[in-house]
Amino acid sequence: MLKDQNVVLGVSGGIAAYKACALTSKLTQQGANVKVIMTKNATEFVSPLTFQALSRNPVYTDTFDEKDPAKIAHIDLADWASIFIIAPTTANMIGKLANGIGDDMLSTTLLATEAPVYIATAMNVHMYNHPAVQENMIKLDKWGYKFIEPGSGYLACGYVGKGRLEEPETIIDVISNDSNISPLLKGKKVLISAGPTIESIDPVRFFTNHSSGKMGFALASEASRLGADVTLVAGPVHLSTPNGVNRIDITTAEEMYQEMMVHFQQADIVIKAAAVADYRPATVYDQKMKKDEGNLSIEMERTKDIIKELGERKQNQFLVGFAAESSNAITYGQKKLTEKNLDAIVINDITTDGAGFGGDTNVVTYLNSKGDKSSLPLSSKTEIAKQLLQFIRSDFEDELK
């Protein structure tokens, strides 16, 4: 998958720079065109001549060393790259990138490139776990940078723990596998709803539910990574917008209904992962209700059944629902699949350990309209999203045949 790819390899200043030599050689053997950028500190560990011999290309170390007067080197390299790898990536380089600092050849080129960037970290275990480093990595992950986690073992500093640069073969495997699946949803329009809705009683009080939106956001993030044009209709949640996703924020069930109807006709795949209120107060008070003696009764009225109406309206869309149940999950899920005219449904029993609202993991069963059933064991919501989209894409393609 790396044959004829234009790979820029950034080498920052750590002892693991020696592994970047082997990575350069293996990338070249794979048929990639490799150009290396080294920081000044990296040249203290390995000579630029080594990378020049292995890549058969000039090595870049100085922002102001313009080898071709017709081009600005760091912009030319940024545009040339189809893949950008930083290996090793030090805490210092992560900090620069996370804070938009461009003060050398590598950092300025990184700020200018639009190629996917793979960050292969390598540092002391305590440095890796430092809150500032972790916060910077979280920020970069949200921006769409791809991390190749360090391995655990004996480190050059004498410590044992997480911090070793992954082996060149592993780095290449990660990038190759990512390249293999990245076009899976290319050209497809995907509409996803996520999170809860809020139904007000008065200016102070409201009804809602425990949905965090994490599952829907994970699906939106993964669909975007797989090349889809993603629209995410999100209830009130405290989550960052996934990279490349068009986010529309709503509050009430009615607002979610309106937005889903607006975007439904243009969608190829629709995934309704939101936990929408089934009922809302029949009367919403303009002023705060005052506490009174005795009990309080609030009359509730039904909200619109969004998934049912989407099922009635669908033409060529592949419509996926979610069923969060606390008993007889599969039975209720199957019933919903049929009654709402869905193409597939994702069922989870919220009483199962690791499958409740608000967590970072889930346990689900994917069931399609043909009766095919796939159970996904306890995994991160990101991993669940990856597997669900594989199923959805496969079933969507079958529907088109």
Residue 163 sits in a domain of what CATH number?
A: 3.40.50.1950
pLDDT for 211-231, tens place per residue? 999 999 999 988 987 889 999
pLDDT at 176: 83
Residues 133, 245 share a domain: no
339: domain CATH number is 3.40.50.10300
Q: Alpha helices of 226-379 — where are they, by DSSP H? A: 253-264, 306-313, 329-339
In a domain, 148, yes or no: yes
Residue 193 and residue 171 share a domain: no
**Closest to 392 measured CA to CA, from 226, 211, 246, 214:** 226
Whether residue 130 has pLDDT greater than 50 = yes
pLDDT per residue as tens digits for the range 187-206: 899 999 999 999 999 999 99
Dihedrals φ, ψ of 187, to 5°?
Answer: 85, -5
Query: Percentage of the chain with pLDDT > 90?
Result: 68
127 lies in the same domain as 223: no
Would residue 375 count as lying in a domain? yes
The rounded distance, in Å, linking the Cα atoms of 258 and 248 is 11
Please report, to the nearest 10 degrees, the dihedral formed by the alpha carbons of residues 28, 32, 37, 42 taken in order: -40
Higher pLDDT, 339 or 158: 339
Q: How confident is the model at residue 181 (pLDDT cuts 50, 70, 90)?
A: very low
- What rounded mean pLDDT belongs to the chain? 91
Q: Is the peptide bond before 88 cis (omega within 30 degrees of 0)?
A: yes
Give the end of a domain, one of 181, 214, 235. 181
In tens, the pLDDT along 8-33 reads: 999 999 889 999 999 999 999 999 99
Residues 232-248 have pLDDT tens digits of 999 999 998 987 899 99
pLDDT at 160: 62
Q: Which amino acid is at 140?
A: L
Q: Specify the number of domains making up the chain.
A: 2
Describe the strand order of the beta sheet including 229-234 as a list of residue ranges: 246-249, 229-234, 189-194, 269-272, 318-325, 344-349, 361-368, 373-380
Cβ 264 vs Cβ 270: under 8 Å? yes
- Asked if residue 208 is part of any domain, the answer here is yes
Task: Answer yes or no: do 164 and 226 share one domain.
Answer: no
1: Cβ contacts below 8 Å, ≥ 6 apart: 175, 176, 179, 180
Residues 129 and 247 in one domain: no
pLDDT score, position 401: 61
| Separation between Cα atoms, residue 35 and residue 240, nearest integer Å | 34
With H, G, I as helix, E, B as strand and everything else as coil, classify residue 375: strand
Residue 162 lies in a domain: yes
| Position 264 in a domain | yes
- Same structural domain, 388 and 255: yes
Please indicate, yes or no, if residue 1 is contained in any of the structural domains: no
H-run or E-run covering 140: helix 131-142
What distance in Å separates the CA atoms of residue 342 and residue 90, rounded to the nearest whole number? 48
Catalytic residue set: 157
- Is 57 contained in some domain? yes
17 and 131 together in one domain: yes
Single out the residue in 137, 155, 181 at which a domain terminates.
181
Do the strands 279-281 and 300-302 form a parallel or antiparallel pair, or are they unpaired? antiparallel
pLDDT tens profile 307-336:
999 999 999 999 999 998 989 999 999 999
Nearest partner of 195 among 186, 205, 208, 177, judged by Cα: 208
Do 204 and 157 reside in the same domain of the chain? no
- Of 125, 154, 181, the domain-final residue: 181
Residue 364's domain comprises 189-400
Question: Read out DSSP for 81-111?
Answer: -SEEEEEEE-HHHHHHHHTT---SHHHHHHH
Are both 158 and 257 inside the same structural domain?
no
Q: Are residues 70 and 207 in the same domain?
A: no
- 249 in any annotated domain: yes
Considering the domain architecture, whether residues 227 and 336 belong to the same structural domain is answered as: yes
Residues 320 and 239 both lie in one domain: yes
